[in-house]
Amino acid sequence: MHHTRRKFILQSSSTAIGLGLLSSLPFNGLLAKGSLVGANDTINVGLIGCKGMGWSNLKSQLTNNPEVRCIALADVDQSVLDERTNDVEKLKGNRPKQFKDYRRMLEMKEIDAVIIGTPDHWHCLMFCDALSADKHVYCEKPLANSIEECNVMMAAAKRYPKIVQIGQWQRSGKHYQQAHQYLKSGKLGNIRLVKCWAYQGWMQPVNVKPDAAVPQGVDYDMWLGPAPQRPFNPNRFHFNFRWYWDYAGGLMTDWGVHEIDIALYFMGVQAPKSVIASGGKLAYPDDASETPDTLQAVFEYENFNMLWEHATGIDNGPYGKSEGIAFIGNHGTLVVNREGWSVIPETQRNSEGILNYEIENMPEQRKPNSADYLAEHGKNFVSAIKKNDASILACGIETGAVAAINAHMGNVAFKTGRKVYWDASSGTFKNDAEANMLIKTNYQNGWNLPII
């Protein structure tokens, strides 16, 4: 299958690679003029990838934004298309058009915005095609399946002046903002270590299954797209694609971008100096997945380290929480996750040997039961479209890229089996040809990485 597509040509002969070169990317907003959506206008949306988070994102936007209307669905699985068409009709009363090929959907001039909810290996192509078709884009996290693709997507977003929101919805959580304000107060003292983790007890072994016939109604060639050609296997399809390197980066990128994003946001940094990682398939060594079920990665930033760790099949993570971020300071530790945040004070002894708190004890500040941060994230996207103002986005393209690139660095360190050193000025690993090859993407089956 060959992919005929627009070329993304910027006023530059070189491609900026990696963190540290963002400001050098050229921008020509005159190349993608489009009609603006008025404050009271209907926003027509198309969804690409309708099974999991794509549907969750669309349903949330349809439910919480009366001006949003879904007029098109694109998916390679006809059974999913039919199911979601019925779901949209129940919610909004209209039946959206169906497409097996997302490119045909993007030809609909009446579509204002698209939601991309496909496996990670498709994000870059669809994102760039949607922008060149003059659509606003809500792209599910992680931004892309490689560092190179992240850079291409950042360049495309600068090339086309459309609204881009990335699905790291914790950025729309009010209690995360409250925790951030506390950290900025300085009460924790010097922060020397940040811990991020995802312990996923619900994840059981992926049982080995034989290759099988492609299910009826599925365009499997289109599902593979730029990924290597392989026989159909049900383990690699739909949700479990996350645990195969061809399509995604495992828990390091799936959960990592959420937690690492908050860590780097709170600490005000973008790129590490070095990364080292260790782990593997230690819980379920014989199951069908490829990505590590147990992993620890240490990121070295200026003046602090960040530890990422994940584990499947168990829930008892640090501080008794299955997921979260801990900021460990000289005076206390701030722990924040999706349930709320709290502060654990350090103690000191006075001259009489009595222990005193360095700072006040802060019991857990719970997230309100009524809060729906995914809905808030969608509302933020819609508001930015109506105001034509990317500055109000909770998670724009640069924020999504920073989190994804850091997470991919963790996987690069794991794959090389050694400490890798990052050069932010060039956006490459220092003196490490093997690591730099892992930055890149090898598109296959006639599909090509968008040319910048």
Which pLDDT band holds residue 352 (cuts at 50, 70, 90)?
Answer: confident
Q: How many domains does the chain have?
A: 2
Per-residue pLDDT at 37: 65
Q: How distant is the alpha carbon of residue 48 from its chain centre?
A: 16
Say if residues 343 and 332 touch (Cβ distance below 8 Å). yes
Lookup: tokens for 232: 């159909």
Per residue in 34-65, pLDDT (tens digit) is 456 665 689 999 999 999 999 999 999 999 99
Per-residue pLDDT at 5: 38
* Residue 419 domain-assigned (yes or no): no
Per-residue pLDDT at 18: 52
Q: Is the pLDDT of residue 240 over 50?
A: yes
CATH of the domain at 380: 3.40.50.720
Per-residue pLDDT at 40: 62
Which position has the higher pLDDT, 411 or 23? 411
- In this structure, are 230 and 140 located in the same domain? no
- In this structure, are 36 and 156 located in the same domain? yes
- In this structure, are 329 and 384 located in the same domain? no
- In this structure, are 187 and 290 located in the same domain? yes
- In this structure, are 186 and 287 located in the same domain? yes
- In this structure, are 74 and 196 located in the same domain? no
Q: What is the mean pLDDT of residues 416-430?
A: 97
Query: Which of 3-12, 307-316, 414-423 shows the lowest mean pLDDT across its residues?
Result: 3-12
Q: Is the pLDDT of residue 21 over 90?
A: no
- In this structure, are 286 and 431 located in the same domain? yes
Lookup: tokens for 262: 């908050």
DSSP state of 67: T
Lookup: tokens for 75: 């998916």
Q: What is the mean pLDDT of residues 162-190?
A: 97
Please, which contacts does 208-211 make with residues 24 or more away whose CB atoms are closer than 8 Å? 208/235, 208/286, 208/287, 208/288, 209/233, 209/234, 209/235, 209/288
Cβ burial of 441 (10 Å; 0-12, 13-18, 19+) is middle
Q: What is the CA radius of gyration of the chain?
A: 22
Task: Write out the residue range of the structural domain in which residue 118 sits.
Answer: 22-171+374-405
Which of 162, 164, 163, 160 lies closest to 31 in space, CA to CA? 160
* Residue 417 domain-assigned (yes or no): no
Per-residue pLDDT at 286: 97
CATH of the domain at 230: 3.30.360.10
Lookup: tokens for 12: 């530059």
Say if residues 70 and 45 touch (Cβ distance below 8 Å). yes
- In this structure, are 37 and 137 located in the same domain? yes
Q: What is the mean pLDDT of residues 293-306?
A: 98
Segment (H or E) for 164: strand 164-166
Full-model pTM: 0.91
The mean predicted confidence, pLDDT, of the chain is 91
E-assigned strands of 247-375? 274-280, 294-301, 304-312, 323-329, 332-337, 340-345, 347-349, 355-357, 362-366
Per-residue pLDDT at 309: 98
Which of 375, 370, 392 lies closest to 383 in space, CA to CA? 392
Lookup: tokens for 301: 């930033």
Q: Is the pLDDT of residue 68 over 50?
A: yes
- In this structure, are 109 and 88 located in the same domain? yes
Per-residue pLDDT at 14: 36
* Residue 452 domain-assigned (yes or no): no
* Residue 238 domain-assigned (yes or no): yes
Per residue in 98-144, pLDDT (tens digit) is 999 999 999 999 999 999 999 999 999 999 999 999 999 999 999 99
- In this structure, are 136 and 272 located in the same domain? no
